[in-house]
Structure 1
Amino acid sequence: MLSRIPWVVGSCGLLASIGAEFDRTRPFAHMVIGTAIHLEPKTVALLLTLRRGGAEIVAAGNLNSTQPETVDHLRAQGVHVVGSTTTDHGTHVAELERVLDAEPHLLLDNGGELFERYLTRPYERLLGGTEETTSGRMRLEPLRAELARPVLVVNDSPIKQFAENTRAVGLSVLESFLRITNRTPHGARVTVLGYGACGRGVAECFRQAHALVSVIEVDPVARLRAHLDGFDVLDRTSALSSAEVVVTVTGARDVLAPADLPLLRDDAVLANAGHFPDEINLGDAEVAPLTEGIDTVHLANGKRLYLLGGGHMVNLAGPRALGNSVESMDLGFALQSRCLEAVATGAVGPDSCVVPVPTAIDERVATEYVALRSARV
Structure 2
Amino acid sequence: MALPPHDVADLGLAPAGVRRVEWAEHAMPVLRSIRERFDRERPLAGLRVAACMHVTAETANLLRALRAGGAEVALAASNPLSTQDDTAAALVAEYGVTVHARAGMDVATYDRNLVTVLEQRPHLLLDDGCDLVNTAHLRHPELLAETVGGCEQTTTGVIRLHRMSAEGALRLPMVAVNDTATKRMFDNRYGTGQSTIDGIMRATNALLSGRTMVVAGFGYCGRGLAERARGMGARVVVTEVDPVKALDAVMQGYTVLPMAEAARIGDVIVTVTGNRDVLRAEHIAELKDGAVLANSGHFDVEIDLPALEALAVEVRREVRPQADEYLLADGRRIVLLAEGRLVNLGAAEGHPAAVMDMSFAVQALTVEWLAARHADLSPGVLDVPVEIDTEVARLELAALGVHIDELTSEQVDYLGSWRA
Alignment of 1:6-21 (within 5 A): 6-21=22-37
Q: Give the structure 2 partner of residue 272 of structure 1.
A: 295
Q: Give the structure 2 partner of residue 118 of structure 1.
A: 136
> Which amino acid is the alignment partner of residue 295 of structure 1?
D
> Which amino acid is the alignment partner of residue 328 of structure 2?
L
If the length of structure 1 is used for normalisation, what is the TM-score? Answer: 0.95
Work out whether residues 246 and 269 of structure 1, in 8 Å CA contact, stay in contact via their aligned partners in 2: yes
Q: Deviations over 1:161-220 (max 9, x none)?
A: 111111121011112212221111010011000000000011110000000000000101
Aligned residues: 374
Q: Give the structure 1 partner of residue 156 of structure 2.
A: 135
Q: Which moved more, 1:122-131 or 1:277-286?
A: 277-286
Deviation at 1:154, TM superposition (A): 1.0
Work out whether residues 150 and 349 of structure 1, in 8 Å CA contact, stay in contact via their aligned partners in 2: no
Task: Tell me the distance in 2 between the aligned counterparts of 1:112 and 1:73.
Answer: 26
Match of residue 26, structure 1, among 42, 50, 53: 42
Deviation at 1:348, TM superposition (A): 7.7
Q: Which moved more, 1:353-362 or 1:101-110?
A: 353-362
Work out whether residues 8 and 41 of structure 1, in 8 Å CA contact, stay in contact via their aligned partners in 2: yes
Q: Deviations over 1:281-316 (max 9, x none)?
A: 122244331221110122344321001111111111
Query: Would you say 1:47 and 2:67 are equivalent positions?
Result: no
Unaligned runs of 5+ residues in structure 2 are 1-14, 404-420
Work out whether residues 148 and 350 of structure 1, in 8 Å CA contact, stay in contact via their aligned partners in 2: no
Q: Which moved more, 1:136-145 or 1:161-170?
A: 136-145
Unaligned runs of 5+ residues in structure 1 are none
Task: Tell me the distance in 2 between the aligned counterparts of 1:367 and 1:51.
Answer: 24
Alignment of 1:303-322 (within 5 A): 303-318=332-347, 321-322=348-349
Secondary structure of the equivalent of 1:146?
coil
Task: Tell me the distance in 2 between the aligned counterparts of 1:352 and 1:27.
Answer: 23
Alignment of 1:37-186 (within 5 A): 37-63=53-79, 64-76=81-93, 77-120=95-138, 121-122=140-141, 123-144=144-165, 145-186=168-209
Work out whether residues 342 and 348 of structure 1, in 8 Å CA contact, stay in contact via their aligned partners in 2: no
Query: Would you say 1:258 and 2:275 are equivalent positions?
Result: no
Deviation at 1:35, TM superposition (A): 0.4
Secondary structure of the equivalent of 1:206?
helix
Q: Give the structure 1 partner of residue 6 of structure 2.
A: none
Q: Which moved more, 1:51-60 or 1:172-181?
A: 172-181
Task: Tell me the distance in 1 between the aligned counterparts of 2:106 and 2:159.
Answer: 23
> Which amino acid is the alignment partner of residue 7 of structure 1?
W
Higher CA-based Rg: 2
Q: Percent identity?
A: 38
Task: Tell me the distance in 2 between the aligned counterparts of 1:6 and 1:359.
Answer: 30
Q: Give the structure 1 partner of residue 418 of structure 2.
A: none
Task: Tell me the distance in 1 between the aligned counterparts of 2:255 and 2:23.
Answer: 40
> Which amino acid is the alignment partner of residue 202 of structure 2?
R
Describe the shift of the 1:70–1:43 C-alpha distance in structure 2 as closer, same or farther (beyond 3 A). same
Work out whether residues 150 and 343 of structure 1, in 8 Å CA contact, stay in contact via their aligned partners in 2: no
Secondary structure of the equivalent of 1:48?
helix
Deviation at 1:111, TM superposition (A): 0.3
> Which amino acid is the alignment partner of residue 80 of structure 1?
T
Q: Give the structure 1 partner of residue 325 of structure 2.
A: 296
Secondary structure of the equivalent of 1:85?
coil
Task: Tell me the distance in 2 between the aligned counterparts of 1:349 and 1:255.
Answer: 40
Task: Tell me the distance in 1 between the aligned counterparts of 2:59 and 2:186.
Answer: 17
Describe the shift of the 1:269–1:194 C-alpha distance in structure 2 as closer, same or farther (beyond 3 A). same
Task: Tell me the distance in 2 between the aligned counterparts of 1:187 and 1:226.
Answer: 20
Work out whether residues 152 and 352 of structure 1, in 8 Å CA contact, stay in contact via their aligned partners in 2: no
Query: Would you say 1:340 and 2:367 are equivalent positions?
Result: yes
If the length of structure 2 is used for normalisation, what is the TM-score? Answer: 0.86
Describe the shift of the 1:359–1:353 C-alpha distance in structure 2 as closer, same or farther (beyond 3 A). same
Describe the shift of the 1:131–1:177 C-alpha distance in structure 2 as closer, same or farther (beyond 3 A). same
Task: Tell me the distance in 2 between the aligned counterparts of 1:270 and 1:109.
Answer: 27
> Which amino acid is the alignment partner of residue 255 of structure 2?
D
Deviation at 1:352, TM superposition (A): 6.8
CA RMSD of aligned residues (A): 1.7
Q: Which moved more, 1:213-222 or 1:117-126?
A: 117-126
Task: Tell me the distance in 2 between the aligned counterparts of 1:111 and 1:25.
Answer: 31
Task: Tell me the distance in 1 between the aligned counterparts of 2:155 and 2:105.
Answer: 21
Work out whether residues 75 and 98 of structure 2, in 8 Å CA contact, stay in contact via their aligned partners in 1: yes
Task: Tell me the distance in 1 between the aligned counterparts of 2:201 and 2:105.
Answer: 23
Q: Give the structure 2 partner of residue 5 of structure 1.
A: 21
